[in-house]
Amino acid sequence: MQAEAPSRLRRFASGLRVLDLSAFLPGPLASLLLADMGAEVLKIEPPAGDAMMQLGPRTEDGAPLFYEAVNAGKSVRRMDLKNPEVRAEFLDMVADFDVLIEGFRPGVMQRLGLGYNVLRERNPGLIYCALSGYGASGPMAQEAGHDANYLANAGVLHRNGQDMPVYYDPPLADLSGSLFGVIAILGALRARDADGLGCEIDIGLADAPMPLQLFQVAEHGATGAVPQPRSTYLNGGAAYYQIYATRDGRYIAVGAIEPKFWRAFCFAAERPDWVDRQSEAMPQTGLIADVAAYIVAITLDDCLARFVGTDCCTSAVLDLGEAIASPHHRHRGFVRVAPNGALQALFPARIDGLPPASRAVLREVETSPQHEEAGLT
């Protein structure tokens, strides 16, 4: 395999040192993205390891796929932070890091004697980012939850789905919370350049979906309207923004929101009589049924022949394998086989024309009395 060209992406956070005390997905994804930008990430795990190691499929040699995917390119060290001596060592380590990410339930770090106020005394410039379910304050702060709970609590699940609400895959709140965490960390580092001071960032995963639905929030504030299932083009109410089944059991996605795209779709289907029906009230049950009857009478290949290339925002619904193998994704280069054989979904940005290089494998660091001896470089 040819050596990959270095990407300027790895210089974006070069020199940044990150301690990641989180587990599962949101926190580790945040530190993974920082590592993709060149940060040095040391993942601190309890003696038994990250519980993510017990979830998901395994490779032929028994390695946990999901755990390794979200922690590639990092170093990992196991420390019992309940042990006073180990905790004292950790406090000494904090002085040498720029960012700390944790995903505990609020109050856990304080009970360990490692709350932000304590860590700030050791390192005034530390950026401390806590990612928890419902945030560090409020009536739900101590409640357990997962992505479905956060979306239900944020008013998102209510309006999505046909006959009943549906879950999302990938987990929308978990992932957007992680991204907001990274954005906040990078902004905090920018502010630290000016005054030398760190800060405490409190991200509640249940809060993350709110800015994603800023249109609906604005409309509710102005009119009191509450979006209902199939009441807008975004949640299944429109014929021009809809999923349709083909004769051979496949599906196409029509996203012809603008009138020019809908007009192109209608003329490609040789149904100009549909053009003016785009303004029908939602849910557009009758028009949806008419388009569905047309599409289900032809195959997916027929659909692609008629609609692709006509500038009408119509696509085949691909499974993951088809998507990865598609000309678009192959060309963009953000899903590639790493030198160790792992298929990786990489940071989705080309910098100066280059896609990111593959991630290195996760590296275990031997626990030792002094972190300088742990080989963090």
Q: What is the DSSP string of 160-216?
A: SSSSS----SS-HHHHHHHHHHHHHHHHHHHHHHHH---EEEEEETTTTHHHHTHHH
324, part of any domain: no
74 to 25, 151, 280, 325, 376: CA distances (angstroms):
14, 30, 53, 28, 10
Of the candidates 189, 55, 209, the one whose C-alpha atom is nearest the C-alpha of residue 128 is 189
Q: What tokens were used for 290?
A: 């008419």
pLDDT of residue 366: 64
Average pLDDT over residues 3-32: 91
Residues 182 and 115 in one domain: yes
DSSP 355: P
Residues 64 and 92 in one domain: yes
pLDDT of residue 368: 44
Query: Which listed residue (50, 174, 207, 371) is catalytic?
Result: 174
Residues 204 and 340 in one domain: yes
Q: Is the pLDDT of residue 376 over 50?
A: no
pLDDT of residue 12: 96
Q: CB of 282 within 8 A of CB of 233?
A: yes
Compute, in degrees rounded to 10, the torsion defined by CA atoms 101, 102, 103, 108: -160
DSSP 70: H
Residues 145 and 75 in one domain: yes
Q: For residue 329, indicate whether it is catalytic.
A: no
226, part of any domain: no
pLDDT of residue 324: 97
pLDDT tens profile 327-362: 999 999 999 999 889 999 999 999 999 999 999 988
pLDDT of residue 125: 98
Sequence-ordered list of residues with C-beta below 8 angstroms from that of 145, at least 6 positions apart, any chain: 133, 134, 153, 205, 206
Of the candidates 23, 21, 31, 128, the one whose C-alpha atom is nearest the C-alpha of residue 359 is 31
73, part of any domain: yes
Element (H, E) at 36: helix 26-36
Residues 200 and 124 in one domain: yes
Q: For residue 328, indicate whether it is catalytic.
A: no
241: CATH: 3.30.1540.10
Q: Is the pLDDT of residue 367 over 60?
A: no
Q: Is the pLDDT of residue 369 over 70?
A: no
Query: Which listed residue (96, 146, 290, 302) is catalytic?
Result: 146
pTM exceeds 0.85, yes or no? yes
Residues 343 and 207 in one domain: yes
Element (H, E) at 74: none
Average pLDDT over residues 118-132: 98
Residues 43 and 169 in one domain: yes
pLDDT of residue 4: 63
Structural domain total, the chain: 2
Instruction: Express as a percent the part of the chain with pLDDT over 90.
Output: 89
> 10 Å Cβ neighbour count for 270?
9
329, part of any domain: no
1, part of any domain: no
Residues 283 and 356 in one domain: no
Residues 175 and 265 in one domain: no
225, part of any domain: no
246 residue type, one letter = T
Residues 43 and 143 in one domain: yes
Bridge partners, 335 (sequence order): 345
Average pLDDT over residues 250-256: 98
Pairing state of beta strands 251-255 and 241-245?
antiparallel
Exposure on the CB side of residue 256, measured as CA atoms within 13 A: 27
pLDDT tens profile 207-250: 999 999 999 999 999 999 999 999 999 999 999 999 999 999 99
Residues 157 and 266 in one domain: no
pLDDT tens profile 271-315: 999 999 999 999 999 999 999 999 999 999 999 999 999 999 999
Residues 73 and 176 in one domain: yes
pLDDT tens profile 173-201: 999 999 999 999 999 999 999 999 999 99
What average pLDDT does the chain have? 93
Q: What tokens were used for 74?
A: 């990092």
289 residue type, one letter = A
Q: Is the pLDDT of residue 269 over 90?
A: yes
Residue-range definition of the domain harbouring residue 355: 8-212+336-374
326, part of any domain: no
73: three-class secondary structure by DSSP: coil
Q: What tokens were used for 187?
A: 């902004």
Bridge partners, 317 (sequence order): none
321, part of any domain: no
Bridge partners, 245 (sequence order): 251
The structure tokens 């925002």 sit at: 313
Q: Give Rg (Cα) of the chain.
A: 24
Confidence of residue 6 (pLDDT cuts 50, 70, 90): low
d(C-alpha 265, C-alpha 270), whole Å:
9
135: CATH: 3.40.50.10540
Q: How far is CA 136 from the centre of its chain?
A: 21
